[in-house]
Structure 1
Amino acid sequence: YDTVDLAEGRFTVAVGDVVGHGLEAATVMGMLRSALSAASRAVAGPAGALEVLGMYARSVDGALAATAVSVLVDTRSHLLVYSSAGHPPPVLLHADGTCELLDQATDPPLGARPEHVPRPQAGMPYHPGDTLVLYTDGLIERRDEDIDTGLDRLTTALGDLVGREPDQLADALLARLGVASGARDDIALVIVRV
């Protein structure tokens, strides 16, 4: 996960996941995180940054099939601009408890295509006080269960927990989803009040 502060009231938030566990996987993720941070500063928009990251991933052993999602938060226009490379969709939790999935700009994981193809990008307006939730698949996926069931469980829990501060929301969400003591897969959870 990473955040990058950009000029003029804008910043990016990103979360990614690599295949595997341990030191090798952590090393690969560190390399991808640094590359995405640099790309987010150098090119326009999350899709462009993920395109650069995908090209870089082809040269890093263990980086193929890694997933990532990047969201640009523009605090002036109250707009979220996002792109996903095979990653579960972020959730925008509104102050009234309703949730929207940022799922309109999804593409295959990093390095999955042998040729360069531009990645999709989409935008979604937000209201000040909404909450942006990014996470890795370990938060929602369960063995022998459809991913939509996990997404429904996540959005229902978020709606029930609306109004909490981000740190309290994170703790309560992990407990509600039954992973406060850990899970089979690694979990990264980033919660931002926008």
Structure 2
Amino acid sequence: MVGDRDTEIRRQVLDAVTDNALTELELEKLLDVLLRRVRDLFGVDTVTVLLLDDARERLVATAAAGLEEEVYQGVRVPVGSGFAGRVAARREPLVIEQVGPSTVVNPLLWERGLQVLLGVPMVVGGQVIGVLHIGSTVPRRFTDSDIGSLQLVADRLALAANAYRSRSERAAATMLQASLLPAHLPTVPGWELAARYVSGTDSGVGGDWYDVFPLPDGRLGVVIGDVVGSGLAAAVVMGRLRSALRAYALELDDPAEVLGRLDRKASHFEHNTMATVGYAMIDTDLQHLRLALAGHLPPVLAVPGRPAVYVDVPVGPPVGQWLAIEGRRSGRIEVPPGALVALFTDGLVERRGEDLDERLDRLLATVAPEPPEVACARIMSAMVGTRAATDDIALLAARHQPEN
């Protein structure tokens, strides 16, 4: 009889997780429908889904049937601790038949009188993204068939949650990046500006950025940067670094000191983060700029009547991980009237299957002392052409206008 019961539950679980109608539901509704079905099919009192947070350190109660307080109260369980935390850490099912402070970290579970719990990991692409668990207020034995059937549900929910998270992260990162990139470049007497930003087809939106902002005494701050990583996490870090650099630029006159402060900030607050950054300070009344590089490729300088060159300034380590808080150096670059400076991220010159040196030479041959909009269009045509980028690209061109 037990075998017949297990077979019937497994059949009904298969019917539930393969129901075509579920494919039309958003994640929140899908979780609500499936968790209620699971509670009825298994004859349990509670069903809960906990998903890993972005830092992959804690499980967050996301949906529940029977113990909704877990969601309402924002229950969080450290990976490796308690019941759900152990399921995530071990990446295997777990049954406990004595629910209390010694076996779980969430007091709601024993306060509601749960006697037994069964939890299974939610895994996608070899990565644990959450835990699904069921609980009963009366003693019972969960069979191997129960475990296998619950794992089927967890696998279905894992795929749905991962797809939803990917879509949500892409949309959020796109909005964040759009809000952080300058909507309009400033109008500066004696200088023309133009820029391009293209997200990579593989990485999606990430940590590349450019920035231009006026400084006291008529100076102009120009930034190009690339946070290691991709997606929403990199875009969020990029936003914080961008804001910090702007603040330091208001207080410090040496670009090298600005990058040193940024390195200190990133090293202390942005754990396991690294970024390459180029920061130039243009004195709009004179014919030069001061530039500091933190692991970033040097800009191209095109002066009328001369071949374009990569500027010769010291290149310090990237920012982050306490690489070089002090000792950074900046260089002075002469930018005569008519000259153009092109700053870019590595996505412009790096292309799978192509030699980097050859692409750097191609860029050098493309940059000319012409209006920045024309220069950007020419550079993107030569370096990107008809093939979609495989990495994010940021490009910023600044031209010292010829005197009339």
Task: Tell me if both proteins adopt one fold, taking TM over 0.5 as the criterion.
Answer: yes
Q: Any residues of structure 2 matched to 1:109-188 within 5 Å, and which?
A: 109-113=318-322, 116-159=325-368, 162-163=369-370, 165-179=371-385, 182-188=388-394
Q: Any residues of structure 2 matched to 1:59-138 within 5 Å, and which?
A: 59-61=268-270, 64-96=273-305, 98-113=307-322, 116-138=325-347
Distance 1:12 1:180 in 2: 33
Deviations 1:100-159 (A, max 9, x none): 322422011002445632211111111112111111000011235554333211111114
Cα separation, partners in 2 of 1:12 and 1:180, compared to 1, 3 Å? farther
Residue aligned with 1:69, SS: strand
Residue aligned with 1:80, SS: strand
Distance 2:376 2:356 in 1: 20
Residue aligned with 1:134, SS: strand
Q: Unaligned regions of 5+ residues in structure 2, if any?
A: 1-209
Distance 1:88 1:124 in 2: 15
User: As a proportion of its length, which structure holds more helix?
Assistant: 2
1:22 corresponding residue in structure 2: 231
Cα separation, partners in 2 of 1:59 and 1:136, compared to 1, 3 Å? same
The Cα of 1:172 is off from its aligned counterpart by: 1.9
Task: Supply the AA of the counterpart residue of 1:53.
Answer: L
Distance 2:296 2:272 in 1: 14
How much is the aligned-residue C-alpha RMSD, in angstroms?
Answer: 2.0
The 8 Å contact of residues 278 and 296 in structure 2, kept in 1 or not, is answered as yes
Distance 2:366 2:284 in 1: 26
- Asked if 1:10 corresponds to 2:219, the answer is yes
Residue aligned with 1:89, SS: coil
Moved more, 136-145 or 67-76: 136-145
Distance 1:8 1:98 in 2: 32
2:245 corresponding residue in structure 1: 36
Distance 2:266 2:277 in 1: 11
Distance 2:324 2:334 in 1: 32
The Cα of 1:173 is off from its aligned counterpart by: 1.0
Task: Supply the AA of the counterpart residue of 1:18.
Answer: V
Residue aligned with 2:363, SS: helix
Cα separation, partners in 2 of 1:175 and 1:137, compared to 1, 3 Å? same
Distance 1:116 1:192 in 2: 28
Q: 1:189 aligns with which of 395, 398, 402?
A: 395
Distance 1:56 1:104 in 2: 24
The 8 Å contact of residues 28 and 62 in structure 1, kept in 2 or not, is answered as no
> Normalising to structure 2: TM-score of the pair?
0.45
Moved more, 20-29 or 141-150: 141-150
Cα separation, partners in 2 of 1:69 and 1:47, compared to 1, 3 Å? same
Moved more, 26-35 or 59-68: 59-68
> Normalising to structure 1: TM-score of the pair?
0.89
Residue aligned with 1:36, SS: helix
Cα separation, partners in 2 of 1:112 and 1:61, compared to 1, 3 Å? closer
Moved more, 46-55 or 98-107: 98-107
Q: Unaligned regions of 5+ residues in structure 1, if any?
A: none
Distance 1:178 1:114 in 2: 33
Cα separation, partners in 2 of 1:153 and 1:40, compared to 1, 3 Å? same
Distance 2:360 2:391 in 1: 16
Distance 1:60 1:184 in 2: 29
- Give percent identity, aligned residues only: 37
The 8 Å contact of residues 263 and 324 in structure 2, kept in 1 or not, is answered as no
Residue aligned with 1:35, SS: helix
Distance 2:381 2:397 in 1: 15
Rg: which structure is higher? Answer: 2
The Cα of 1:91 is off from its aligned counterpart by: 1.2
